[in-house]
Amino acid sequence: MKTDIQIRVKALASYPKEAAATRFRVEQFVGPLRERGIELELSPFLSAEQFAEMYKPGGSLKKAAGIARSFLRRLAEAARVGKYDLLFVQREAMFFGPEIFEWLFQIAGRVPMVLDLDDATYVPYASPTYGRLGSALKFFGKTDRLIRRSAAVTCGNRFIAEYVSKLGTRAEVIPTVVDTGVFRPVEKDNNIPVVGWVGTHSTFPSLESLLPVLEKLAAKHEFVLRVVGSGRDAKEIPGVRSEVLKWSLEREVEDFCTLDVGLYPIVVSSSANEEWLKGKSGFKAIQYLAAGVPFVMSPVGICAEIGRPGESHLNAESAEDWYNSLDKLLGDAGLRQKMGESGRAHSLENYTVEKQADRLAEVFRAARNG
């Protein structure tokens, strides 16, 4: 059955679908929104190839040339923005500099803007890759100005929503979710329990804080530690059998769903202070819940409010908490299964794409109608 399109939305993002924020905050809603009469057209600033090269050393001239081409393409897009009813910006239209394109698209198309914030991008931080230069190029005051220019802001959690509301803009909490038909429990054939972490080079310091705990656990339990996306080479941990894998879009679901126990440590670092961490959306926990994987998590910010502690997962603050929680899960396969089932049920009740697509569609309609 064909659905009549009532609203056409131009979605701008800095990064392509290979970036989790673009994939799960924008791209996965294209189909569901079309079913609700909303056509969403995604335009990332960087291509998949550029994104893959961005955080690798060297190649400065090639990177600069690619960014220049992306800049010119954005300018050309501004001339065609008049055919859309709404502008949807995932964090920012370009990952550096002031809000040039957001302003230009709004002026050229005379369209209202909805901003999407899944992170506390209004909090300054030190770039782990580009240092002070990277931080300076971020123009951290940009987010506040974008919030004020927006008809509404979709927020990854209530802490971001509270910040947005203080600036006088409508805020709607839309958590980052996964397709529960794709992220789902699978039959595991692990001979030895697999304890896993999936992250990025910037969040790896949080996992590093757990290495002494994992070493201690290995003296009592046999397990495999799977580390995905750290951007580091394999690291020897005495007594711990480990797998260090590069992140892969094709393998993303498998990397989560085949775990027996998930890890979600969150610690303050030079690139993530307490205020920044408070703005995190707890997405890794939502992925574990959907996959039916029991996990241990630092109850920081919104993570203290996700799932059912003691039923779907265990919370841990101290090294002793981490050891006791992992010891408990590794020693009881029945408990792991029970917690995984509880987490999956919680996911289906609270974190489905369909439920969040309804809310996003409502935000778009209200913004378009003024």
Show the 3-state SS of the chain: CCCCCCEEEEEEECCCCCCHHHHHHCHHHHHHHHHCCEEEEEEECCCHHHHHHHCCCCCHHHHHHHHHHHHHHHHHHHCCHHHCCEEEEECCCCCCCCCHHHHHHHHHHCCCEEEEECCCCCCCCCECCCHHHHHHHCCCCHHHHHHHHCCEEEECCHHHHHHHHHCCCEEEECCCCCCCCCCCCCCCCCCCCEEEEECCCCCHHHHHCCHHHHHHHHCCCCCEEEEECCCCCCCCCCCCEEEEECCCCCCHHHHHHCCCEEEECCCCECCECHHHHHCCCCHHHHHHHHHCCCEEECCCHHHHHCCCECCCEEECCCHHHHHHHHHHHHCCHHHHHHHHHHHHHHHHHHCCHHHHHHHHHHHHHHHHHC
- Residue 220 CA, chain-centre distance (Å), reads 34
Q: Is 188 inside a domain boundary?
A: no
Look up the domain containing 252 and give its range: 194-350
Q: Is 2 inside a domain boundary?
A: no
Is residue 78 within 8 Å of 111, Cβ to Cβ? Answer: no
16 and 108 share one domain: yes
CATH assignment of the domain containing 23: 3.40.50.2000
Q: Phi/psi at 86 (nearest 5 deg)?
A: -155, 150
Could you count the other beta carbons within 10 Å of the beta carbon of residue 249?
11
**What does the pLDDT read at residue 335?**
98
13 and 54 share one domain: yes
| β partners of residue 231 | none
326 and 243 share one domain: yes
What pTM does this model have?
0.92
Q: Is 250 inside a domain boundary?
A: yes
Q: Is 320 exposed, middle or buried (0-12, 13-18, 19+ CB in 10 A)?
A: exposed
How far is Cα 222 from Cα 336, in angstroms, rounded to an integer?
Answer: 16
144 and 14 share one domain: yes
Is residue 171 within 8 Å of 165, Cβ to Cβ? Answer: yes
- Tokens matching residue 118: 């899944």
Q: Is 55 inside a domain boundary?
A: yes
54 and 34 share one domain: yes
Q: Is 79 inside a domain boundary?
A: yes
* Interior/surface letters 303-315, b for 16+ CB within 10 angstroms, e for the rest: beebbeeeebbbb
Residue with tokens 């569609």: 361
**What does the pLDDT read at residue 126?**
61
283 and 310 share one domain: yes
21 and 74 share one domain: yes
How far is Cα 342 from Cα 253, in angstroms, rounded to an integer?
Answer: 19
167 and 240 share one domain: no
Could you give the C-alpha distances from 77 to 38, 74, 86, 229, 287, in angstroms and in order?
20, 5, 14, 33, 34
Residue with tokens 């004020």: 148
Is residue 116 within 8 Å of 91, Cβ to Cβ? Answer: yes
86 and 172 share one domain: yes
Count of domains forming the chain? 2
245 and 334 share one domain: yes
Q: Is 185 inside a domain boundary?
A: no
**What does the pLDDT read at residue 86?**
97
Could you count the other beta carbons within 10 Å of the beta carbon of residue 97?
14
**What does the pLDDT read at residue 158?**
96
Q: Is 189 inside a domain boundary?
A: no
212 and 319 share one domain: yes
Residues 6+ apart with CB under 8 A from 254: none
**What does the pLDDT read at residue 346?**
98
**What does the pLDDT read at residue 333?**
96
- Tokens matching residue 260: 């027996």
Q: Is 187 inside a domain boundary?
A: no
**What does the pLDDT read at residue 53?**
87
**What does the pLDDT read at residue 300?**
93
**What does the pLDDT read at residue 236?**
79
Termini Cα distance of the chain:
30
How far is Cα 366 from Cα 276, in angstroms, rounded to an integer?
Answer: 29
Q: What angle do CA 341, 21, 177 make, to 5 degrees?
A: 25
**What does the pLDDT read at residue 98?**
92
- For each of the chain's 370 residues, which pLDDT tens digit applies? 567 999 999 999 999 999 999 999 999 999 999 999 999 999 999 999 999 888 778 888 999 999 999 999 999 999 899 999 999 999 999 998 999 999 999 998 899 999 999 999 999 866 555 555 555 566 778 999 999 999 999 999 999 999 999 999 999 999 999 999 999 999 998 999 999 999 988 889 899 999 999 999 999 999 999 999 988 877 778 889 999 999 999 999 999 999 999 999 999 876 677 888 888 899 999 999 999 999 999 999 999 999 999 999 999 999 999 999 999 999 999 999 999 999 999 999 999 999 999 999 999 999 999 8
Q: Provide the angle, in degrees to the nearest 10, between the axes of the packed helices 333-350 and 319-330.
A: 110
Residues 6+ apart with CB under 8 A from 134: 127
110 and 89 share one domain: yes
